[in-house]
Structure 1
Amino acid sequence: MTTRPDVFFLPAANGEQRLCLFHAPAGAPRSRILYLHPFAEEMNKSRRMVALTCRALAAAGHAVLQIDLRGCGDSSADFGDASWADWQDDVRLGLAELDRRVPAGPLWLWSLRAGALLAAADWGRPVNHLFWQPMASGKLMLQQFLRLKLAAEMAGGASKGLMEQLKGELAAGRSVEVAGYVLGASLANGLASATLAPSGPPGRLAWLELSNREDATLMPASEQAVTKWRDAGWATQALVVPGPGFWATTEIEIAPALIERTLEAVA
């Protein structure tokens, strides 16, 4: 039988709240896992896949906490009001709640795409990392997001100089609208400065990427990043798993093999 998660609002600063889902482990906790979601619409596209994985992890004995960051999902504030510092505070908030519910056990930060850029920081304690299709550069993630606006304007012939205009607005401290999201300068600048570099005491790192090609290998940028983590003393495992890029597909899709490899990685 699948146990329903505990859905609740976690009190945050200034009277705000963060929507959380806690998936209690079956039996004694084998580990504690905090999930950090990807950027903007990728969060919504990946909800089904993440929910299935949370259930599988809990059934295997892992305690999992999901948190909607400030301005995302059903948490307080609008997306355009959030900053990178707000999201870092939310990670600390999630870690504290996980400590309260499950005081002991190995700790994992599980993240998808830009969520990995948020996770890769020194949290003042030993952590392990589970990266799903991580972005190695926040600057690249920001460019990819801004290109959504560029693509939408191309049909009308208004795309010339648009990228420079958007970057100029953000540099001047003003917000821009992209694909239905208002992106504030503070969040954009924080994202652009984030890199996927090892930080804090070394632990375990599981780096999982998806591809529909049978002979797929890690991308060169990923290989370089994994090497940096390994050289910094992290026990690394990097795999390419068969499956679709569910965070960006038109229809909601899942990657069963990724769930299986995830269970193996945190075992």
Structure 2
Amino acid sequence: MTADALPSFEDLVAEGVAVPVEGWDFSWFEGRATEERPSWGYAVALAGRLGGAETALDVQTGGGEVLDFALGRAGRAPLLTVATEGWPANVAKATALLHPRGVAVVAAPDDAPLPFADAAFDLVGSRHPVRPPWGEIARVLRPGGTYFAQHVGPRSVFELVEYFLGPQPEAAASARHPDRERAAAEAAGLEVVDVRAERLRVEFHDIAAVVHFLRKVVWMVPGFTVGAYEERLRTLHEQIRAEGPFVAYSTRHLVEVRRPGSPSGG
């Protein structure tokens, strides 16, 4: 394809703006952006945990895609499965997806107490929670129950963040460090069973992918709009055209913690 035949900056930006951002389905990025996947395969591993649980909670479920996949792979479903979500558009999407599987989706702000009784669940899961509510996780887990989750790690995709915002304070860069989360979990009275971390290559192949990503993952560049960052976007568009994909690195960690005690409370 000749340079003249390539989509213009304006066309690509318009495409990135037009794509809906509800849920955590990233299939639109196929062919436009890539991200290595962690070796542990969280959704499949979660399916195995669900198969052995009687009551399960998925915190900050997004559009319910990961839980839906895991329930589909589980050998048996828990007797009771509940999910929470704080963004109204995602609540609607998750409800439509998960209701046929018998999952109740509860609208609950991410920073509010979980609206469940003490010791209600023997499994709590979450994929990429904004901020894991350790005290609430400890409260709603039954004795012997497990929190099994995949978290976003420190400095994730910070190459892109700092392209738009400049160098970030160390506090912001290390806020999601697994050592901090280990300490916070232990402070809430939980036993840390396993923490595994990986750094994964991310490539953005066009500016539409960058625009859609920053619209979807809103905490990366707070207040992002095309108008506010048009000059930086245009420069990055030309850089990608001349040099190839913009490369960044995501960080992920797998977390497994346990509430002390036996399921019987003994």
Q: Settle same-fold status: TM greater than 0.5.
A: no
TM range (shorter): 0.3 to 0.5
> Relative CO higher for 1 or 2, CA cutoff 8 Å, sep ≥ 6?
2
TM value normalised by structure 1: 0.34
